[in-house]
Amino acid sequence: MSSMNKGIKILFMFLILGFSAFFLSGCTNSDEKLSEYDRIISDSDILIEGKQYTLAVEKLSNASELIPSKKDAFERMVKIFISKNRMEDASKIIEESAGKLSQDDRAELYTLIGEAYYKVRDFEKALYSYQLADGLSSNYKPALLGIAKSFLQVGKIEKARALLEEKYEGDMLIEAKLVLSFIQSMTDVEKAKNTIKDVDPGDTWRDSYVKWEEVLESIDEDKLYNLAKLGKEYVDQGYPYLAIALLEPEVGKMDEYIDGIYILGKAYYEYGQYQKSIDLLESTSSLGDLNQYIYWVLARDYFVLNDINSSSNYYDNAIAFSATEADYLLYTEYLDILIEENLTEKALEVMRSAEKNFVGENWVSMYYMYIYSLRSDNEKFSYYMNRIDYEELDSSMKTNYLYSKGDFLIKSDQLEQAQEVLDVFWELDQYEPRYNLLVARLNFENGDLEKAREYAKKCLEYDLNGVVSKESQSLLAQID
């Protein structure tokens, strides 16, 4: 019996040692996995900083398979696809994380997609993404605030109001109170004032709060004037539907009140109701200081509706009415359209007016460069190119100047001078997609197809907004 007991004890001892070895081995593997995961994440961050997104996604995909329950890799992949405006691909990443990530983590990721859609004004998809997040993690405040703002953008004011009355903290509280105050001001200005009076807006929201408080304090006995002031602020703050809801019922009383008509017409435009904007603004017979801006809105309405002739007429009217008081943004917006449509003769006509009103300004010479490049007029292109003092340009204009100059030099087979321009361009921003396109084109002209291919692919990688992706793809097609 004692021999049997001794045998049992020995068996138990071996079992304990075995289990201990197993668990210790498991812990070691887990630590090794965590270390490997962190290393991959660190490597991918370096790639992301260098804008090598494709390689970064490959590494992050490996990391997500190594430890599927950690959010870091999924979050970085989602952000990369969002940066490339590929929200559907970002959504697929989250769908693939089902059963791996926690519900709360997935809610955070869907909220990122909601924010991305909201920024590009696709409010229906933003709302859907926010609601997915809310379904995964109820009472997740960033998603609730996103739902509230999206409701407001799609015309569901009361649903937005209910969510804005939830308890928020930090910056979300500051934003929620401000937007709630906008809604309240439509019917009760004093309540709107009380909602924001004890809020410390901090640096981020201070200007918005100060401006809104000034509007609320300026409300007097003139109803139509008050409506116009409130409506203007709603539009300026990015909530055009509030202006429509406020001003539309009073439109019959605003026949001679051009301010209110202009604000409502602009609100229609911002809300995507372009024909309503046209019908309203073209019906007014009043003249005043706002006519430049009324014509400007009408020009935009017709452009979105693909009526280039009507759009051009209204841009011309806006410029003519503004005379010497024109906003340079009116000119550049119009010129961008004309250049995109390759209407260079009309663009030159507009430039003659711009040259009179903006004497000696670099942007005028820059636009002459763009136009004469399209017209393959090397002599006039060179004339305006040489009028520009590169050192006086801001970084954005330097980028545009170098691209236009490099493009001109490559087209005119001045390849050594083009390389000199690209050396300067590299120092300014080696990740600029247009720089990489020019390098690809220059190498193509020099017969180095491998390097041309490399830089054309870099251009596609870096071109988050699709500025020159078509040109890069066309070059790759020639190479391959």
Does the residue 415 lie in any domain?
A: yes
Q: What distance in Å separates the CA atoms of residue 403 and residue 410, rounded to the nearest whole number?
A: 11
Residue 467 is given by DSSP the state S
Of 29-33, 199-203, 241-245, 318-322, the range with the lowest mean pLDDT is 29-33
CA distance linking residue 33 with residue 172, whole number of Å? 37
Q: What is the pLDDT of residue 96?
A: 93
Q: Is the confidence at residue 23, as pLDDT, over 90?
A: no
Mean pLDDT to the nearest integer, 152-176:
97
Per-residue model confidence (pLDDT) at position 341 = 95
What is d(CA 99, CA 78) in angstroms, rounded to the nearest whole number?
A: 17
Mean pLDDT on 90-116: 96
Q: What is the pLDDT of residue 287?
A: 58
Average pLDDT (100-105) is 96
Please state at what angle helix 258-271 crosses helix 291-304, rounded to 10 degrees: 20
* Mean pLDDT in residue range 389-413: 95
Per residue in 281-304, pLDDT tens?
998 866 566 788 999 999 999 999
pLDDT value at residue 17? 43
- Say if 291 falls within a structural domain: no
The reported pLDDT for the residue numbered 5 is: 53
Nearest alpha carbon to residue 179 among 161, 194, 193, 191:
161
pLDDT for residue 16 is more than 60? no
Q: In angstroms, rounded to a whole number, what is the distance separating the alpha carbons of residues 323 and 332? A: 15
Q: What is the distance between the alpha carbons of residues 98 and 101, in angstroms, rounded to a whole number? A: 6
Give, for 3, the enclosing helix (H) or strand (E): helix 2-49
Centre a 10 Å sphere on the Cβ of residue 115 and count the other Cβ atoms it contains. Answer: 17
Per the domain annotation, does 443 fall within a domain?
yes
Specify the pTM: 0.88
Residues 6+ apart with CB under 8 A from 463: 433, 469, 472
CA distance 354 to 242: 36
Domain that holds residue 475: 389-480
Q: What is the pLDDT of residues 325-380, one digit of tens each?
A: 778 999 999 999 999 999 999 999 999 999 999 998 999 999 999 999 999 999 99
The answer as to whether 428 is a domain residue is yes
Instruction: Identify whether 429 is part of a domain.
Output: yes
Distance of CA 349 to the CA centre of its chain: 32
Mean of pLDDT values over 225-231: 95
In-domain check, residue 397: yes
In the predicted model, what is the mean pLDDT of residues 263-290? Answer: 89
Predicted local distance difference test score (pLDDT) of residue 480: 86
Minimal CA–CA distance to 280: which of 309, 251, 312? 251
Q: How far apart are CA 388 and CA 365, in angstroms?
A: 7
DSSP 327: -
Contacts of 220 by beta carbon, 8 Å cutoff, 6+ apart = 226
CATH number of the domain residue 446 falls in: 1.25.40.10
Of the candidates 80, 76, 139, the residue with the CA atom closest to the CA atom of residue 104: 139
In this prediction, residue 150 carries a pLDDT of: 98
Residue 460 lies in a domain: yes
What is the share, in percent, of the chain residues with pLDDT greater than 70? 93
Residue 431 lies in a domain: yes
CA distance 308 to 311: 5
Number of domains in the chain: 1
Contacts of 99 (CB under 8 A, 6+ apart): none
Q: What are phi and psi of 359, to 5 degrees?
A: -60, 125
- Higher pLDDT, residue 230 or 12: 230
DSSP H or E segment with residue 111: helix 103-119
